[in-house]
Amino acid sequence: MNVSEQSLAGRILRQEKLAKYTSWRVGGVAEKMFIPNDKEDLELFIASLNKDEDVLWLGLGSNLLIRDGGVEETVINTRGKVKQMYLLDTTHLYVECGVPCAHIARFCAENDLSNAEFFAGIPGTMGGALKMNAGAFGSETWDLVEQVEVQLQGEKVTKKAANEFEIAYRSVSGIDNACFLSAILKLEAAKDTKGQARIKELLAKRNATQPTSLPSCGSVFRNPENDHAARLIEVSNLKGYKIGGAEVSTKHANFIVNTGNATAADIEQLITYVQNEVYKQQGIKLQTEVCIIGKSAV
């Protein structure tokens, strides 16, 4: 499907600096970035792409390390866009891919719906949460998903039931290269009116245990089975270890923070160092939860 840039309501940017779009505040430039006006505009753009065109999705830019040399992929940036959210009935919520997860938690609490409070602890959007089955405070996104709208590049939008996907810890498979456009979440009527209080309690817990005042990506490593990455890093005496402007947080060992002047290379080198040291000392190879992409700086 051929679509001219003039027929799109959104913006196409060239050589756009990515650091301002990522939660680590690092990264090179995007050769091409599309910012859709709304979901219909996004659908039109995806339908216009070749099946083999490499695409990078950006929401709030968390869980992502973009190298200093930037990316050749076409970047689709939904920050502040594709953000419709409304109740379909008393317990079903329609959420588009650009809605920040924190907004979902707050909306559900305000409408006396329960089980969505954990979204307050996910520093991303619905699209990213669907893609990786994001979770927080012991709950995961796909616990609530009943149906999604997906689109493959060069094709039309289709609706899929949750049971058509294979869901695991921080993993969703079943349709290769699927672009998640929206979801219908199945919630429960709240038994009390304490939803907003529970969110405040969870956020207070997060602020007390995580370095929320410094740029980070969220959790860097996946938790190994029956263990926690933070514990393994801490017992390896790596809290506070620095490479350049990147530091293993002294508040939470599974966070790497940008202390002010870190490069993506600093952060990636620190990730590798932590993996090697934990393996050397504890015999466990930590797997990254963060996605690392792009070209190294020349």
Full pLDDT tens readout for the chain, 298 residues: 455 566 788 999 999 999 999 999 999 999 999 999 999 999 999 999 999 999 999 999 998 999 999 999 999 999 999 999 999 999 999 999 999 999 999 999 999 999 999 999 898 999 999 999 999 888 999 999 999 999 999 999 999 999 999 999 889 998 888 899 999 999 998 877 777 888 888 888 888 888 889 999 999 999 999 999 999 999 999 999 999 999 999 999 999 999 999 999 999 999 999 999 999 999 999 999 999 999 998 6
Per annotation, catalytic residue among 96, 140, 247, 289: 289
Active site residue 247: no
The active-site residue out of 62, 219, 236, 249 is 219
Q: What token pair was written down for 65?
A: 């390390």
Chain segment 217-234, per-residue pLDDT in tens: 999 999 999 999 999 999
* Predicted pLDDT of residue 130: 96
Amino acid identity, residue 55? V
CA atoms within 13 A on the CB side of 139: 15
Q: How far apart are the first and last CA of the chain?
A: 36
Share of the chain above pLDDT 70, in %: 98
Q: How many C-beta neighbours within 10 Å does residue 154 have?
A: 14
Q: What share of the chain is helix, strand, coil (3-state, %, to 5)?
A: 30, 30, 45
**Architecture label for domain 212-293:** Alpha-Beta Complex (3.90)
Topology, domain 5-77: 3.30.43
Which residue from 257, 160, 247, 167 is spatially nearest to 217, judged by alpha carbons?
Answer: 257
The two structure tokens encoding residue 98? 């650009």
Predicted pLDDT of residue 191? 79
Catalytic site residue 289? yes
| Domain ranges (residues) in the chain | 5-77, 85-197, 212-293
In Å, how far are 22, 27, 93, 133, 207 from 96, measured between CA atoms?
A: 20, 26, 10, 16, 27
For residue 250, give the 3-state DSSP assignment: coil
| pLDDT attached to residue 205 | 82
**CATH architecture assigned to 85-197:** 2-Layer Sandwich (3.30)
Bridge partners for 160 per DSSP: 148
pLDDT tens, 168-199? 988 999 888 889 999 999 999 887 777 788 88
Query: What is the overall mean pLDDT for the chain?
Result: 93
Our answer to whether residue 198 is catalytic in this structure is no
Prediction pTM value = 0.88
Q: What's the confidence (pLDDT) of residue 1?
A: 46
The bridge status of strand 157-161 relative to strand 64-66 is unpaired
Strand 11-17, strand 29-35: pairing? antiparallel
Q: Which of 249, 217, 253, 170 is nearest to 63 (CA)?
A: 217
Q: What's 99's DSSP letter?
A: S
Catalytic residue, candidates 170, 206, 222, 231:
170
